């Protein structure tokens, strides 16, 4: 049985470590995306543990996981592009990681402007604060989500 000692009985942890091909690539991309979104959540002054839909006493990033949902299609698209370029899914190697990072460093449309993913994450989380404070009606989401 593989897995880290703290979560040896966790089915999720084991399945992430046992993932192959596209699932492993998606897991890697989601991990990088999660870090980017976590930065935006904290920059907006929100506590990453206090989730809206996600809640788990062992997950310190529930709000991050909630916030990253509309951004997942970016990772999905990058993995799909990789499969097209490579002809098939391969393991997560240096070449794939570089491809994923380049894809995540592109500019994306939010509020009719091209922005980095870091900016988009901050704007989404900042708009969440404005919605909670009653200053704004909608959360700013990337165009592909609308």
Residue 61 DSSP one-character state: T
Q: Is 54 helix (H, G, I), strand (E, B) or coil?
A: coil
The pLDDT of residue 36: 94
**Is residue 135 over pLDDT 90?**
yes
Domain boundaries, the chain: 8-145
The pLDDT of residue 9: 40
**Is residue 145 over pLDDT 60?**
no
Residue 141 DSSP one-character state: -
The pLDDT of residue 74: 92
**Is residue 10 over pLDDT 60?**
no
More confident of the two residues 123 and 10: 123
C-alpha gyration radius of the chain:
16
Superfamily name and number for 8-145: CRISPR-associated endonuclease Cas1, C-terminal domain (1.20.120.920)
d(CA 142, CA 117) in angstroms, rounded, equals: 10
Q: What is the arithmetic mean of pLDDT over 83-111?
A: 86
The pLDDT of residue 134: 94
d(CA 107, CA 118) in angstroms, rounded, equals: 10
The pLDDT of residue 54: 62
Residue 118 buriedness (CB in 10 A; 0-12 / 13-18 / 19+):
middle
- What is the bridge-based pairing of β-strands 107-110 and 113-116? antiparallel
**Is residue 25 over pLDDT 80?**
yes
Lowest mean pLDDT among 29-33, 70-74, 85-89, 134-138: 85-89
**Is residue 137 over pLDDT 90?**
yes
Contact 108, 114 (CB under 8 A): yes
Res. 126 pLDDT band, cuts 50 70 90: very high
SS3 of the chain: helix, strand, coil, percent, to 5: 60, 5, 35
**Is residue 90 over pLDDT 60?**
yes
* pTM (predicted TM-score): 0.78
Q: Which of 138, 124, 24 is nearest to 70 (CA)?
A: 124
Helix (H) or strand (E) holding 129: helix 117-132
**Is residue 1 over pLDDT 60?**
no
């Amino acid at each position: 049985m593989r897995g880290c000692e703290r979560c040896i009985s966790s089915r999720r942890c084991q399945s992430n470590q046992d993932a192959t091909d596209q699932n492993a690539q998606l897991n890697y991309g989601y991990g990088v995306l999660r870090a980017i979104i976590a930065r935006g959540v904290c920059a907006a002054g929100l506590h990453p543990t206090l989730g809206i839909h996600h809640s788990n006493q062992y997950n310190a990033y529930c709000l991050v996981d909630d916030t990253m949902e509309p951004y997942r299609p970016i990772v999905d698209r990058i993995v799909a592009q990789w499969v097209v370029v490579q002809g098939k899914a391969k393991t997560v190697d240096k070449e794939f990681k570089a491809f994923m990072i380049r894809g995540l460093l592109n500019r994306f449309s939010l509020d009719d402007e091209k922005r980095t993913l870091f900016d988009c994450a901050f704007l989404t989380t900042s708009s969440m604060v404005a919605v909670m404070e009653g200053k704004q009606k909608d959360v700013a989401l990337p165009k592909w989500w609308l």
